[in-house]
Amino acid sequence: MTPTSELELSDMIKAVNGPLRIVGGGTRPIGHVMGEVLSTAALSGITLHEPGALTLVARAGTPVVDIEATLATQNQRLAFEPMDHRALMGTSGQPTIGGVVAANISGPRRISVGACRDFLLGVRFVDGAGNIVKNGGRVMKNVTGYDLVKLMAGAYGTLGVLTEVSFKVLPAVEAETTLTLSGLDDTTAIQAMSAGLGSPFEVTGVAHDPAQSLTHFRLEGFAASVAYRADALSKLLAPFGIMQDTAGDWSAIRDVTAFAGKTGDVWRISVKPSEAAALAAKIGADAVQYDWGGGLIWALCPVGTDVRTAMIGTAGHATLIRGTGQTFHPEPAPLADISTGLRARFDPRGILNTGIMG
Amino acid sequence: MQMPIPDASVIEHKDQIVARLLAVLPRDAVIADVVETRAYECDGLTAYRCPPMCAVLPSNTDEVASVLKICHELGVPVVPRGSGTSLAGGALPTADCVILGVAKMNGVIETNYDDRYIRVQTGRTNLSVTGAVEANGFFYAPDPSSQLACAIAGNIAMNSGGAHCLKYGVTTNNLLGVTMVMMDGTVVDIGGAYMDAGGLDLLGVICGSEGQLGVVTEATLRILPKPEGARPVLIGYDSSEVAGQVVTDIIKAGVLPVAIEFMDRPCIEATENFAHAGYPMCEALLIVEVEGSDAEIDAQLALIMKIAAKHNPVELREAKDADEAGRIWLGRKSAFGAMGQINDYMCLDGTIPVSELPYVLRRISEMSKEFGLDVGNVFHAGDGNMHPLILFDANKEGDLELCEEFGAEILKLCVEVGGCLTGEHGVGIEKRDLMHVQFSATDLEAQMAVKDVFDPKWLLNAAKVFPLDASEPRRVA
């Protein structure tokens, strides 16, 4: 099914009996869903870009690349730096903005500016009963009614099929510099990253690659300001070693390309940075890399590794991005009840991406 | 303003209910005396008052759970209350309710500078969260004007903003986790000291739900390193269109100020008479603040001044030091007080797309003449969040109603141009009956479905947010 309008989508959902598998660009096969394919490909196009208001509105099936190109003409960007999963997942196709929202996909800059859900201003969607619902809008400050916008971000389509999304966008930057420390073990690297993030120098990306023992710090902004902060950060972090100016391949960090094509399960683990190194050491991973100053661990593990048992006693959660086990971290009973209750309300027949979240 | 008819069967059993509450709370934490309950009869929206049946002031999550369990069992409505600073009537009691105040729960549970968070009890005031971490060079970013008094519980309930959210976002962008008690007494922990909690974003929908989904007793908040410095520039223009254009030009140039504040002539005049900040008498005044090191601030302000100068400002004043910065902010910070000196006022907070600013200001000024009520505009211009202050005389028959009618027209206008009814104050009772303007019945149904899951009996703050006719089938069920 490839609806060409919101109304058509609503009619299709009302008419269908069996489960639906909602697909944007099909580049992020996270979770395991059966059902007739419902494609958002024909719900495409940017409906509004108002550079002076830092606002962009697009239909859900719009390719991310189109949005980035449109924003670039006005020297703007999606600041949350959505990850491209194609290399890691071995997929092709064009990632769509609806897919980014449905999975709440962010990148390294999430640590400083926020996640996809923090930039999402409004949504339109069709719920599992075929109702057309809007929430939020196109303005940055809006507390009118419940924030279903956040609820829809990261709901993996289980509460409704997104048809239109609106975003706060930010100016692109004049300059970017990456400073790199080398030779640090994981624990020390995380201490260095925390020191950088705890400084006033506005670090916008902080990642550590244990395989090469490299710890990267990204600074962005006006050129003179970046130069000043680079100098200040180097002085602050001098106890951890000499910082080298490097090219800084942040799209490789964002897309976890180091694990592309390698056999094994890929886990995405969100924890407190200060507990990350100890956890990473005990999950039985073949390789790990740290983003968000240590708050995000990407782990490549032998197929079938039980990462979650190793996490008992550590606050956080693990998502199986690539592999055949349970995708999402099981929730404690009262929260699972709430989530089940919400899904039952928004999708009473249980037909939208059934089973993906539990 | 209509409120549901109080449940007589609840009020009849006041003594038994109070006795049950006294069994789980210390004596001084239950306020049932009719004189003493008057202290809770209203919040910041003082035009509406109604003493609650009783008020409770629990000291911890367990006590909150005990209270809610009893109220749930007995079918007693509960209205949660932070510090009672809501401008929308979010904490307005009903005559049959228990006010659940979190004021006693004001402790800091944990601070962690390496992982950059603080965990507090939610009765703690917004400013004292920053107070707890500033010695270590950190701050808590959301800064509503009432930050000296308002509680984190209320900030979470209303998803409060402030003047600096253009850069730092609002409460929801700075909230990592909560401990919340559901209406049936179940305690849930959502999120924590890590990013992006798994599963559905329950934290996202709880924040801003106006105390209708549960009572948040503890919160983990993101703290940020304090910038090296901050300085504003003051720019005056003879037309609000031009000032609006300058705002867009600044944003388009790639500068992201922490704040862009806008005041119109009536507001400038009022604040000058009140605070003598030395503002120029003009149609529109902008205060733009940037952050960073001294050199960075100089560079950003130079760029802003260059943009501003292109549009023939009547005044262009850069703060060279903290004293001058203070003088620039003085008028803006006393704007509400200044308007209050003139008369009673009603403060609205609709948001509009920034590009609609000149049109909306022109329409407001036309409506001001039609209604015969003066209005001054203060405005977070960077994010389009307006604060029209309508002046009226509470002692004059019919003036409040006229003012409310005028306010409703302004909010309808905000929605009409692509904005919303409320940017940071919340719906409460104030904008409740206007929700139809912004949302279809289906849109509201989707929101109410969320409450059905968290509070199936609709006992928590149920007379707020949703128009009474829309929520009635659920409230009386």
Q: pLDDT by residue (tens digit) across A70-95?
A: 999 999 999 999 999 999 999 999 99
Give B6 or B321, the one with higher predicted confidence: B6
What percentage of chain B carries pLDDT values higher than 70?
A: 100
- Give the pLDDT of residue B201: 97
Among all residues of chain A, which has the CA nearest to that of B297? A225
Among all residues of chain A, which has the CA nearest to that of B354? A53
Considering the segment(s) B343-416 as one domain, its CATH architecture is 2-Layer Sandwich (3.30)
Shortest alpha-carbon distance between residue B226 and chain A (Å) = 6
| pLDDT (average), residues A41-58 | 96
Computed over every residue of chain A, the mean pLDDT equals: 96
Among all residues of chain B, which has the CA nearest to that of A135? B443
- Give the pLDDT of residue A32: 82
Indicate if the pLDDT at residue B197 is higher than 80.
Answer: no
Indicate if the pLDDT at residue A262 is higher than 90.
Answer: yes
Which residue of B114, B194, B444 is in closest CB contact with A271? B194
CA distance B256 to B288: 10
Burial class, B298, CB count within 10 angstroms (exposed 0-12 / middle 13-18 / buried 19+): middle
Shortest alpha-carbon distance between residue B282 and chain A (Å) = 24
What residue has token string 């209050």? Answer: B340
Which residue of B159, B170, B199 is in closest CB contact with A339? B199
| pLDDT (average), residues A102-130 | 98
Q: From chain B, pick out residues whose CB is under 8 angstroms from the CB of A139.
A: 351-353, 383-385, 418-420, 423
Sign of CA dihedral A130, A133, A138, A143: negative
Asked if A139 and B419 come within 8 Å (Cβ–Cβ), the reply is yes
Asked if B201 and A317 come within 8 Å (Cβ–Cβ), the reply is no
Q: From chain A, pick out residues whose CB is under 8 angstroms from the CB of B465.
A: 145-146
Asked if A191 and B114 come within 8 Å (Cβ–Cβ), the reply is yes
**Which site among B61, B195, B222, B258 would you substitute to test the A interface, given the most A Cβ atoms closer than 10 Å to its Cβ?**
B195
Give B477 or B30, the one with higher predicted confidence: B30
Shortest alpha-carbon distance between residue B430 and chain A (Å) = 12
How does A141-157 read in b/e, with b if 16+ C-beta sit within 10 Å? bbbbbbbbbbbbbbbbb
Assess whether the region B8-226+441-472 and the region B343-416 belong to the same CATH fold: no
Tokens standing for A7? 């109304």
| pLDDT (average), residues A15-27 | 95
Indicate if the pLDDT at residue B477 is higher than 80.
Answer: no
ipTM above 0.95, yes or no: yes
Indicate if the pLDDT at residue B75 is higher than 90.
Answer: yes
Q: From chain A, pick out residues whose CB is under 8 angstroms from the CB of B189.
A: 332
Asked if B200 and A339 come within 8 Å (Cβ–Cβ), the reply is yes
- Give the pLDDT of residue A179: 98
DSSP 8-state symbol, B351:
B
Position B380 confidence tier, pLDDT thresholds 50, 70, 90: confident
Asked if B201 and A342 come within 8 Å (Cβ–Cβ), the reply is no
Which residue of A143, A145, A174 is in closest CB contact with B254? A174
Which residue of B194, B196, B226 is in closest CB contact with A200? B226
Give A321 or B256, the one with higher predicted confidence: A321
HSE-CB at B126 with a 13 A cutoff on CA atoms is: 26
Among all residues of chain B, which has the CA nearest to that of A190? B114
* Bridge partner residues of A57 (DSSP): A48, A166
The closest of A295, A239, A195 to B114, measured between CA atoms, is: A195
- Give the pLDDT of residue A64: 98
Asked if A133 and B446 come within 8 Å (Cβ–Cβ), the reply is yes
Among all residues of chain A, which has the CA nearest to that of B204? A150
- Give the pLDDT of residue B300: 92
Q: From chain B, pick out residues whose CB is under 8 angstroms from the CB of A55.
A: 353
Which residue of B201, B299, B383 is in closest CB contact with A117? B201
CB neighbourhood size of A288 (10 A) = 25
Indicate if the pLDDT at residue B299 is higher than 80.
Answer: yes
| pLDDT (average), residues A281-296 | 97
| pLDDT (average), residues B79-104 | 97
Three-state DSSP class for residue A219: strand
Asked if A141 and B426 come within 8 Å (Cβ–Cβ), the reply is no
pTM here is 0.97
Q: From chain A, pick out residues whose CB is under 8 angstroms from the CB of B445.
A: 131
Three-state DSSP class for residue B384: coil
Q: pLDDT by residue (tens digit) across B305-344?
A: 999 999 999 999 998 888 999 999 988 888 888 888 889 9
The length of chain A is 358
Question: What is the set of domains in chain A, with CATH numbers?
Answer: 6-171 (3.30.465.10), 175-254 (3.30.70.100), 256-322 (3.30.70)
Q: From chain B, pick out residues whose CB is under 8 angstroms from the CB of A173.
A: 254
**Which site among A112, A118, A142 would you substitute to test the B interface, given the most B Cβ atoms closer than 10 Å to its Cβ?**
A142
- Give the pLDDT of residue B116: 98
Which residue of A106, A145, A151 is in closest CB contact with B201? A151
Which residue of B159, B190, B444 is in closest CB contact with A143? B159
CB neighbourhood size of B327 (10 A) = 18
- Give the pLDDT of residue B145: 86
Q: From chain A, pick out residues whose CB is under 8 angstroms from the CB of B357.
A: none
- Give the pLDDT of residue B56: 98
Q: From chain A, pick out residues whose CB is under 8 angstroms from the CB of B304.
A: none
Indicate if the pLDDT at residue B163 is higher than 90.
Answer: no
Residue spans of the domains in chain B: they are 8-226+441-472, 230-335, 343-416
For B401-436, give the DSSP string: HHHHHHHHHHHHHHHHTT-BS-SSS--TTTTGGGHH
Asked if residues A211 and A266 have their Cβ atoms less than 8 Å apart, the reply is no
The closest of B3, B160, B87 to B407, measured between CA atoms, is: B87
Asked if B188 and A144 come within 8 Å (Cβ–Cβ), the reply is no
Considering the segment(s) B230-335 as one domain, its CATH architecture is 2-Layer Sandwich (3.30)
| pLDDT (average), residues A20-35 | 92
| pLDDT (average), residues B76-89 | 96
Computed over every residue of chain B, the mean pLDDT equals: 95
Shortest alpha-carbon distance between residue B184 and chain A (Å) = 12
Per CATH, the number for B8-226+441-472 is 3.30.465.10
What percentage of chain A carries pLDDT values higher than 90?
A: 95
Asked if A345 and B453 come within 8 Å (Cβ–Cβ), the reply is yes
Among all residues of chain B, which has the CA nearest to that of A345? B449
Among all residues of chain B, which has the CA nearest to that of A56? B353
| pLDDT (average), residues B227-232 | 93
Which residue of B182, B204, B445 is in closest CB contact with A150? B204
Give A1 or B255, the one with higher predicted confidence: A1
Q: pLDDT by residue (tens digit) across B16-58?
A: 999 999 999 999 999 999 999 999 999 999 989 999 999 999 9
Q: pLDDT by residue (tens digit) across A291-307?
A: 999 999 999 999 999 99
- Give the pLDDT of residue B374: 93
Which residue of A143, A170, A273 is in closest CB contact with B422? A143
Indicate if the pLDDT at residue A121 is higher than 80.
Answer: yes
Which residue of A115, A146, A328 is in closest CB contact with B196? A115
Tell how far CA B408 is from the center of its chain: 18
Among all residues of chain B, which has the CA nearest to that of A331? B199
Q: From chain A, pick out residues whose CB is under 8 angstroms from the CB of B449.
A: 342, 345-346
Which residue of B172, B423, B440 is in closest CB contact with A147? B172
**Which site among A139, A269, A291 would you substitute to test the B interface, given the most B Cβ atoms closer than 10 Å to its Cβ?**
A139
For B221-259, give the DSSP string: EE-EEPPS-EEEEEEEES-HHHHHHHHHHHHHTT---SE
Helices (H) then strands (E): counts for chain A? 13, 17
Asked if B418 and A118 come within 8 Å (Cβ–Cβ), the reply is no
Asked if A273 and B115 come within 8 Å (Cβ–Cβ), the reply is yes
Asked if A335 and B202 come within 8 Å (Cβ–Cβ), the reply is yes
| pLDDT (average), residues B170-175 | 97
| pLDDT (average), residues A176-185 | 98
